[in-house]
Structure 1
Amino acid sequence: MKLPAPLGLAGHTWYPPDRDLTADAVREGRVDAKTARELGYEGLLLSADTAPPDMAVRAARPLLERIGCPADALGTLFHASIHYQGHDIWSAPHYIARELGTGAQPVGLLQQCNGGATGIELAATALLADPECGPGLVTTADRFQPPVWDRWLGDFGMAVGDAATAVVVHRGEYPADLLLHATGTVSVPELEEMHRGNDAFNTAPLEHSPVIDVRRTKRAFIRRHGIDRFYKAAHQGVRRAVAESLAHAGLEPDDPRLRWAVLPRLGKKAMEEAYIPPLVQVTPAELLDLGTPTGHLGAGDLNASLTQLAREERLAPGEFALILNSGGGFTFSSFIVGRP
């Protein structure tokens, strides 16, 4: 997305107080030592008592208060998640809107792990398309409770932690933590099979398996196509998304002002094989991994990294960061942000 002018971003991440430490999980036999080393996490965040929609409210409410944005000033509300939100045939975005007291249009996003990034792009699109549209609020929230989801072994290349994020996208009428200069998003739908495998279409959830088992469908994909097919498509997707975002921001790949290339919060081995090789081919910016203490945050990786970049003041005036993200299906996104 090429923006006519930068948009303001303000964010807040709600982290639960508890963590499942990797050392404890290995000692108790919930993950083997080799897998733990390949993941590289210190631990995973745990939300035992707070449901995902309430987690989203806990992220959004203090953010709106901090920047002085009344809930009724919002024009859109996008909520992204990858896992169960607490009720069947029910709209979590409308619940979040009700709890916040906003009449903004609530929209739910099922874009897998790229949902938060997609929400920011859609909020930006609404602002550009309609001069009367108020700021957009983008929330994400996921809680990966056993036994339906094994946090450590439910997927290859990642282990999942619980968290919620909130980001307000605006034209500059409120304080901004960062400025959004450009995005690049590339879809690679040939990889959707990785989360479908050989299974027929179900009539109800969990008919194929009593637990979420992404490893099973990915094994089926690999048996049919080989792992190199994924790596080739993923490398191309990353390169294209990053190149597109840099071009839209008017930055050369080796621009010294590009301070960081922020990685998704995936496991160490997955990033070394699928994400870092194509990323370093496009830009020499210094790599930054912010996910070691948290685990993968479902739909919220990119949005949490936005907040952390600003909170830790990792960008000096005039510097930029590239934030890379992806989601099953597959979609690859790259955002270029800078200091206000």
Structure 2
Amino acid sequence: MRVTGEVHLAGLGSWLPDEVTTADAVADGRYGEADRKASGMLAVRVAEDLPAPDMAVRAARTALRRAARTGLTADDFGALLHCATYHQGPDGWSAPHYVLHRTLDRPIGAAQVGPGCLGMLTALEMAAHRLAADDGKDAVLLTAADNFSPSLVDRWNSSRLFLLADGGAAAVVSRRGGFARLLSVGSVSAPVMEELHRGGEELFPPGITVGRSLNFEERSDYWRSRWAQGAAPPKVHLGDVVADAVDRVLAEADTGLEQVARICHTGYSEGALHTIYLDPLDVDAADGTWEFTRSIGHIGAADPFIGLERLWTRGEVGPGDRVLLLAAGPGMEVACAVVEITEPYLPATARPEEDL
């Protein structure tokens, strides 16, 4: 979608817990040395028992404080969109409204957005549509957070594509201006591939209700076995979907890949990062955020925005630079956005201890 109106990122925030190194995980038997070497990962962030919505609140408060310099107040927001890839709290309870209560605290709509790891980019597109359709409110707050510490989750071995990490991110989307202008945003899906994340699991009862763990590797093993027995694998490669989505969004932004200063991608392990993202685009790891994400891990939907915050606050991108935000998730679907940095980071907009 080409964004023709004034849609900006007015503020970003993140909250990351302490790191646990992959070397320590190997030393205490949680992670294999061969897997550690193959992944290229140095550490992941682990929040222990801090609820995911509280991490979203902390990130949102930073984003809101940074956005306040544009004149935005809580009364200017029309909605809150919260993204999550894992359980947030009690069944039948609303994490989005918990975040809303502890941030904007206004009687506006709050909703949870998916699917999975591209949720925050999906929410960004939804926010752009809302701002275009309703001129009564000037901003939308986006949040994302996950905590993969429950005992049913083995963050070190649930997938060879990534190591699950904890943390939160937030973004203020506004028509009043900000530090970056949204040029385009969109997604491409390959629904024939939805079964890859389902594996051999039945749809009912839901796995969590019978104590089944979140284990993508088991589902991958299921399909490897089926293919070895003669079942036909999907004819679509996720890397092709990535290339298609990026081509479309870049064209809508009147931008070539050579004009993109940096790519903020999902926090995958090294092999998966190249196979799924970098190689299909014919770009190097230095063009992305690998040197950062390899010490963070995969924090669900938050990854691209955590990466953008780091680049912006450290001055690695500045006015005139165009940045590609990129994520893939179950479905299979790939979402991306192109933003152009319009203002440098001003450290005075956040307390020193909150700067990255």
Q: TM-score, normalised by structure 1?
A: 0.91
Q: CA deviation at 1:205?
A: 3.8
- In structure 2, do the counterparts of structure 1 residues 90 and 304 end up closer, same or farther at CA, with 3 Å as the change threshold? same
Matched, 1:47 2:51: no
Partner of 1:179: 181
Distance 1:266 1:230, change over 3 A: farther
Name 1:167's counterpart in structure 2.
Answer: 171
Counterpart in the other structure of 2:16: 15
Q: CA, structure 1 residues 138+161, in 2 after alignment: closer, same or farther (shift >3 Å)?
A: same
CA shift digits 1:185-205 (9 cap, x unpaired)? 111111211121122222244
Match of 1:309 in 2: 311
Residues 258 and 6 from structure 1, CA distance in 2 versus in 1: closer, same or farther, beyond 3 angstroms? farther
Instruction: Report the counterpart of residue 352 of structure 2 in structure 1.
Output: none
Q: Does 1:291 align with 2:297?
A: no
**Compared CA separation, residues 239 and 104, structure 1 to 2 (3 A):** same
Cα separation, 2, equivalents of 1:83 and 1:285: 30
Provide the residue aligned with 2:86 in structure 1: 83
Percent of pairs identical after alignment?
Answer: 29
**Residue 309 of structure 1: how far off its partner (Å):** 2.1
The question of whether the paired residues in 2 share the 8 Å contact of 1:245 and 1:334 is answered with: yes
Q: Distance in 2 between matches of 1:248 and 1:205?
A: 40
The 8 Å contact of residues 113 and 300 in structure 1, kept in 2 or not, is answered as yes
User: How big is the shift at 1:35?
Assistant: 1.0
Asked if structure 2 preserves the Cα contact closer than 8 Å seen for 1:52 and 1:143, the reply is yes
Corresponding residue of 2:75:
72
Paired residue secondary structure (2:61): helix
Q: 1:104 aligns with which of 105, 108, 127?
A: 108
Corresponding residue number in structure 2 for 1:27: 27
CA separation of 1:303/1:104 partners in 2, compared to 1, >3 Å: closer, same or farther? farther
Q: Which amino acid aligns with 2:83?
A: A
1:125 aligns with 2:129: yes
Q: How far, CA to CA, are the matches of 1:262 and 1:63 in structure 2? A: 18
Q: How far did 1:231 drift?
A: 8.7
Unaligned runs of 5+ in 2: 343-356
* Shift in alpha-carbon separation, 1:11–1:242, aligned structure 2, 3 A: same
Pick aligned residue for 1:137 from 135, 141, 148? 141
Question: SS at 1:206's partner residue?
Answer: helix
Cα drift, residue 228 of structure 1: 10
Structure 2: how far apart are the matches of 1:261 and 1:78?
23
- The aligned counterpart of 1:152 is 156
Secondary structure of 2:214's partner?
coil
Change (3 A) 1:212 1:299: same
Give 1:97 shift.
1.2
Aligned length: 334
- Asked if the contact 1:76–1:134 (Cα under 8 Å) also holds between the matched residues in 2, the reply is no
CA contact (8 A) 1:320 1:339 kept: yes
Give a deviation string over 1:75-134, Cα, whole Å, max 9, x none.
111001011111111111111112221222101113111111111111111001112233
Residue identity opposite 2:14 in structure 1: T
CA separation in 1, counterparts of 2:215 and 2:49?
Answer: 24
Map Cα deviations across residues 125-166 of structure 1 (whole Å, 9 max, x no partner). 100111223301110010001411111101231001111111
Aligned partners of 1:151, 1:319: CA distance in 2, in Å?
35
Task: Could you tell me which runs of 5 or more consecutive residues in structure 1 were left unpaired when the two chains were aligned.
Answer: none
Aligned to 2:272: 270
* Offset of residue 262 of structure 1: 3.1
Q: Against the structure 1 CA distance between its residues 261 and 247, is the aligned structure 2 distance closer, same or farther, given a 3 Å change threshold?
A: same
Distance (whole Å) between structure 2 residues aligned to residue 229 and residue 314 of structure 1: 41
How big is the shift at 1:209? 5.3
Determine the C-alpha separation between the residues in 2 that align with 1:84 and 1:232. 30
CA distance 1:208–1:190, shift in 2 (3 Å): farther
- The Cα offsets for residues 231-258 of structure 1, whole Å up to 9 and x where unpaired, read as 942122111111011101111333xx32
**In the TM superposition, what is the alpha-carbon distance from 1:41 to its structure 2 partner?**
1.6
Question: Does the Cα contact within 8 Å between 1:197 and 1:220 map onto a contact in 2?
Answer: yes
Asked if structure 2 preserves the Cα contact closer than 8 Å seen for 1:253 and 1:284, the reply is no
The verdict on how the C-alpha distance between 1:278 and 1:93 changes in structure 2, with shifts beyond 3 A counting, is same
Q: Per-residue displacement from partner, 1:290-336 (whole Å, max 9, x unpaired)? A: 31110001121122122122112222332212222111121111211
| Equivalent pair of 2:12/2:62 in contact (CA under 8 Å) | no
